[in-house]
Amino acid sequence: MKKLVSLSLVLCSVLLFVNCKSQKEEQQQQNSKPKPMTDSTDKIAAFTGPFEGVPQFENFSIEDVKNLMREAIDLKMKQIDSIAQQKSTPTFENTFVPYEKSGAALDRVFSYYGVYSSNESSEKFRKVQEKLAPEIAEYSTKIYQNKALFDRIKHIYKNDTASLKSNQKRLVKQIYTEFQMRGANLDSVAKKRYAEIQQKLSKLYTQFSNNVLADEEGYITYLNSDQLSGLPESLKKSAAKVAKENGKLDKYAITNTRSSMDPFLTYSDERALRKKVWQNYYSRGNNGGEHDNNSIIKRILKLRDERVELLGYENYASWRLSNRMAKNPEKAMDLLMKVWKPALARVKEEVADMQKLANSEDGDIEIKAWDYRYYMEKVREKRYQLNSEQIKPYLQLKNLRKGMFDVAGKLFGFKFRPITEKDIPVFNENVKVWKVTDKKSDSLIGLWYLDPYARKGKRSGAWATTYRSYAKLTGGKPVLASNNSNFIEPAKGDPVLLSWADAETFFHEFGHALHFLSSDITYPTLDNGLRDYTEFQSQLLERWLLTDNVIDNYLKHYKTGKPMPDELVKKIKKSATFNQGFGTTEYLASAIMDLKYHTTDPSKIKDVQQFEKEQLDKLNMPDEIPMRHRTTQFGHIFSGEGYSAGYYGYLWSEVLTADAAEAFANAPNGFYNKELARKLKKYLFAPRNAIDPEKAYRKFRGSDAKVDALLRDRGFPVKKND
């Protein structure tokens, strides 16, 4: 599972569900229809050029973002007021339709804002971001507290849905529910306090995120040439390149990001250095001083709890999950705990194997958290005669990309062609763009942007986003989808070779992009999926990496061009469930702690570090494994509200993934079964959130998914009647 956040969803959470969508200029309307919108709606941060307009990244500055954000917010508020102040009886056509069309300019500004936030951050932008965050929160709150607008929405929800189509009914329900959850029914005093809380939270989210990024940039471990034992040549070269860029000509740099930390801990023979790199990474946001996040977390939890108390909820998690697939935190926790026990049992086996090997090779040492990856790799090599460096030469980035395109063509009928036009602006020279068309008709579907490499100012991890989504109501313009990774850029002339985990992540994030590109919806709000469902599509696409088609045609040695040998493929498949104890436990610990934080009275959390330790001790968390995201760096839940009280959603989605993967594996022609591919696109990709996810999955599978498939998938024992 890849715990990586899609940027479009993060931005929606920052906006607190204000529609992330595009629009055409509003036509002049009379009588029962809202007033015409100003022509300036198509001028603010305009997308121009081919493909019905693309972001003009090269012509945009931080100052533009600051100024145009305010202008676009003002325009959106005027559009909302024009809907709310109508005197005519509320109808779907005069209320929901213009509401769905509003905010095109703001969405465009957020495309630039998102790139500066995640791909090209700087001290200058962070100062601007700190000023804009509360303004964005204020604007969002004003919309949800617009009584006249909510009265119209409520009237339609209560009285005028019988004649609506199914997707229109879902739209009305989604928007009405969201307004309720955002305080639309509060009295004036409560609304005022709600708005104050939103302002404060927006500032804290920005501070939290910037603090983590500051600690990532501020803790670089420099190595001498005699400290490289065990490191593969590719890592040495990239480390030398980074050190040189930082003015250290005779050094090697291990940056404080997962893409650098993970391979170093896996291969370095220098135990003391492994400990240092591990501590740097897992201490982000917990180093004291101006970038410490402990007090910020306590304030966030307190404010969140106060806010949902105003709304009548027992705790933040109950509020958050009320409109998710899980419905309540008890059901979410139940799923996590069903997997927790078998995961712990597997960890004990893994640690015992590693300890035995460590004792035989390195004397009397006790396995610590900074040793886990290192000895795990040694055990893998001994047990399966397999190590990551054997696999890497066959995982060349450009070939994996071609393999993904081939899968997209076979499953969804998409064709990808590199863009050669010089008038497609990009925000960094390493960003490349592809045109996506239908294989049969050659009709345009959209563009796909790829930003592959780590660099200063780019947040760690991998994510997918859109600069423009598809919706028939707003003209059905081509999708502008983007994938963003943090692969280490190789030395000049060297190929980009990935680990197996990075290759899976690459396919995973491409799954999000395919979800965007497959969209066939009418109303923009229905493009925003439920967080415990939206990872399913991307998790499922990972499964095609290990299909014969991809292995035979795209996993080729970067020097010889020969396909991966059958013997090596067998070893990979045989070791598929290896180290699942580590991977599952580090994730589950974070997901469980997320729910613990959001179901506990904040007044009882006196010290964040102590609370984290106490809860993990109660779970019998192995000392050899840390949470995947320790509290002070847990951006999923504290840099916004996208995954707050919802990190469990990755496992919830994984249940669907494992079940769907079994359907493909057991079908004729396996993962390329045409009928299953047709149903996959029709029911699980194209509708986005226009269909209830549970109903959509039943249409695809014919039944509900069960946790047994997940346990089997991870090699854990499955109890009968459990």
Q: What is the CATH number of the domain that holds 133?
A: 1.10.1370.40
Please report whether residue 324 resides in a domain: no
159 lies in the same domain as 268: no
Residues 33, 166 share a domain? yes
- In a shared domain, residues 71 and 198: yes
Q: Do 625 and 585 touch, CB atoms closer than 8 A? A: yes
Q: How many other C-beta atoms lie within 10 A of the C-beta of residue 51?
A: 19
Q: Is residue 207 part of a domain?
A: yes
The answer to whether position 26 is within a domain reads: yes
Output the six-digit token pair for 503: 């290759």
What's the order of all strands across the beta sheet hosting 414-418? 414-418, 432-438, 444-453, 479-487, 463-468
- Whether 194 and 223 map to the same domain: the answer is no
Return d(Cα 448, Cα 382) in angstroms, integer: 41
Instruction: Let me know whether 446 and 501 are in one domain.
Output: yes
For residue 253, how many other CB atoms are within 10 A of its CB? 19
| Count of the separate structural domains present in the chain | 3
Of the candidates 159, 186, 213, which is a domain's last residue?
213
pTM of the model: 0.88
Number of alpha helices (DSSP H) and beta strands (DSSP E) in the chain: 28, 7
Q: Mark whether 167 and 266 lie in a shared domain.
A: no
Query: In terms of domains, do 167 and 19 share one?
Result: yes
318 located within any domain: no
Listed residues 228, 259, 282: the one ending a domain: 282
Q: Could you give the C-alpha distances from 587 to 3, 324, 580, 642, in angstroms and in order?
A: 8, 20, 11, 17
Instruction: Tell me what pLDDT residue 388 has.
Output: 83
Does residue 679 lie in a domain region?
Answer: no
Confidence (pLDDT) at 8: 34
Q: Tell me which DSSP letter residue 611 carries.
A: H
Residue 240 to residue 222: CA distance in whole angstroms: 10
Q: Is residue 442 part of a domain?
A: yes
Name the DSSP class of 438: E
Range of the domain at 227: 219-282
- CA 435 – CA 468 distance, rounded (Å): 14
pLDDT at residue 599, rounded to an integer: 98
Residue ranges in the chain modelled with pLDDT below 70:
1-42, 720-722
Beta bridge partners of 438: 414
State whether the Cα torsion 367-369-374-377 is positive or negative.
positive
* 197 and 129 inside one domain: yes
Identify the pLDDT of residue 241.
Answer: 92
Q: How far apart (Å, rounded) are the C-alpha atoms in residues 302 and 300?
A: 5
Domain boundary among 190, 213, 236: 213
- Within a domain: 372: no
284, 393, 540, 549 from 557: Cα distances, Å: 37, 5, 26, 16
Q: In 3-state terms, what secondary structure has residue 4?
A: coil
